[in-house]
Structure 1
Amino acid sequence: MALSTCLVSPLRPALAALRWAAPGQRRGLSAQPGPVHTLNLRGIFPPLTTPFSATQEVDYTQLEGNLCRYASIPFRGACGGVCALANVLGAPLCQLDGLCHEGRWQEARDLQHRLIEPNLAVTRRFGIPGLKKAMEWFGYYGGPCRAPLAPLSSPQVEELRGIFSANGWL
């Protein structure tokens, strides 16, 4: 789902509630003479929950739809991401952010290309069990998977290890 195809209609009740809760900030004409006020949502960050499917897997289609709907709200100054990889490779992700702020775009691009496959592996390909296994490799405690999730099989562990190794992380 592209951001351009997002629908605003599911958000209208929420925006109406915000306008009702903050009548002095209503957009448009005021009943009283004076300046026109606008609804200023700067600095308000809405919570974004992770949706799960019936099989307890992350529902990436629904998550994308949620992100799409939130992108259409007039919030300003908000930033963020789905950062599962930060549980494993936090320092390189901070380095990537620093390179971007410094304008070192080629170095940032090279680093990001090394992060793409491991990120896809711990989000889409192997999910939470893959993330927990990768955390173990980097000295963190991910703990056992809770039901109904099962730990990775030996071939899956080797495939995940190959992805991290091929990109220079192991």
Structure 2
Amino acid sequence: MSPRDAHATKARILRAATAEFAEHGYAGGRVDRIAREAGTNVRMIYAYFSGKDGLFDAAVTSAVQSMAAAVPPRADDLPAWAGELFDYHRREPSALRITMWARLERPEAAAEPMESYVSKTTTVSSVDSAPLTAVDLLVFIYAIAQAWYLTPTGLLRADGSDPADPRRIADHRASIVTAVTRFVRAAD
């Protein structure tokens, strides 16, 4: 019998939990499904995360930290960073989905890892954007980069086009970059 690798087990549980909660939310997420997907048992989830609340909070934190590591702010090129955030949400929808579920079902978890945002605010504060604060810039960039994924599909289809059309997605991404460029320029 091989010894248990606690770090690997926790990582598998966290990956499975992030996927489960991103898909079903906190209320719909099932610890037994997470355990089965992670190749472990419910008892280990309680041992490592103290239950569903702790597991959900850890999954939210992990998703936000993963996004922060994958797409760090670029004070030298905020428009490009906005495009990269848009791309990240397309590739990895779990981070956006799980944070939305947290805001709806477990607001105390939606406070998210403050150190992630403090770091981003510090990075962006080097951009001269008076009278806007670094937080104002971050809020705008996150809002515009996430809007496509938060918009009801019916609205995206209202003009008769397919929201999944790669050309339409590329055009939308380009409009995000242009909007942030103009926003930052106007702030200067």
- TM-score category, normalised to shorter length: 0.3 to 0.5
TM-score by length of 1: 0.33
What TM-score do you get using the length of structure 2 for normalisation?
0.31
| Higher relative contact order, structure no. (Cα contacts within 8 Å, ≥ 6 residues apart) | 2
Structure with the bigger percentage of helix:
2
Larger Rg: 1
